[in-house]
């Protein structure tokens, strides 16, 4: 795991976008795993800028989103379908038929989840998975106690996640209590992972995920097991890391990429 600490949210988002660009330059038909939430928003804004100003091409890209609330229509303002289209897909040239987001309104959740896993496999697997982190250390909607080998499934949200997400809804009672989510095992199958986090509210979760034990109580700690995972955070999110100086030393000492 590589920990990359940046001065602020804007720089953090740009560094994350650079990694996406590297993947697309190496493989224009890459399969990208997408995350929703306020933290990845800056990353998506930077990718949109690069598309508009520097012709970053998504025309051969396939995407799979991590999760979706159960019970919200795709056009609901708090659905992840709506978020992704408003903040990313409507601004870039990913072919609509290549966009995959879990259905929160399917009538057969087990069959849909099995299909979603198979669709990822049929595309050759995810090349780069983007992740955020919950305040309790969860990734996607893999709440504490989720199996480290879990696959895409229906998941009951924890009280803390419901409380954290209530700010996006008019009333706490409006927050769905179920979601479809990729499993931890599904996420770990991706060839490359980047996790972005900002703010002091995420500092303890980052410290537990990066420096704590690998445990199902903090599902983001599973990234410690991955062969190519990067945690990209701002100063505030790094504030609880004991090895912070070492991470900064490693990043500063990295050799420059060879010129082509």
Mind telling me the catalytic residues?
67, 136, 138, 143
Which letter does DSSP use for residue 259 in this model? P
C-alpha radius of gyration, the chain, whole number: 17
Tokens read off for 22: 């590297």
| Pairing of the two strands 67-69 and 178-181 | antiparallel
* Residue 152 contacts residue 117 (beta carbons within 8 Å): yes
Per DSSP, what are the bridge partners of residue 194? Answer: 130, 230
Rounded alpha-carbon distances, angstroms, from residue 124 to 118, 121, 174 = 10, 5, 37
Rounded alpha-carbon distances, angstroms, from residue 130 to 176, 190, 217, 221, 256 = 23, 10, 21, 15, 24
Distance of alpha carbon 260 from alpha carbon 6, whole angstroms: 26
Distance of alpha carbon 81 from alpha carbon 102, whole angstroms: 9
């Amino acid at each position: 795991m590589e920990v990359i600490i940046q001065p602020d949210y804007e720089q953090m988002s740009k560094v994350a976008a650079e990694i996406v660009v590297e993947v697309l330059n190496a493989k224009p038909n890459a399969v990208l795993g997408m995350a929703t939430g306020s933290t990845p928003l800056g990353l998506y804004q930077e990718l949109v800028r690069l598309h508009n100003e520097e012709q970053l091409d998504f025309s051969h890209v396939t995407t799979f989103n991590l999760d979706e609330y159960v019970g919200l229509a795709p056009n609901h303002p708090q659905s992840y379908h709506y978020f992704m289209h408003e903040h990313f897909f409507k601004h870039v040239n990913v072919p609509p038929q290549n966009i995959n987001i879990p259905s929160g309104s399917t009538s057969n959740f087990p069959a849909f989840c099995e299909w979603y896993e198979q669709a990822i496999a049929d595309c050759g697997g995810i090349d780069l998975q983007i992740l955020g982190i919950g305040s309790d250390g969860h990734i996607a909607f893999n709440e504490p106690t989720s199996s480290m080998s879990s696959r895409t499934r229906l998941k009951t949200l924890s009280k803390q996640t419901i409380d954290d997400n209530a700010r996006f809804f008019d009333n706490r009672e409006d927050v769905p209590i179920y979601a479809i989510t990729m499993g931890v095992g599904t996420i770990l199958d991706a060839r490359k992972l980047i996790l972005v986090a900002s703010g002091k509210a995420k500092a303890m979760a980052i410290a537990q995920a990066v420096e704590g034990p690998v445990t199902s109580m903090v599902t983001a700690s599973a990234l410690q097991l991955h062969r190519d995972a990067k945690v990209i955070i701002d100063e505030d999110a790094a504030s609880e890391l004991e090895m912070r100086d070492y991470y900064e030393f490693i990043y500063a000492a990295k050799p420059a990429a060879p010129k082509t």
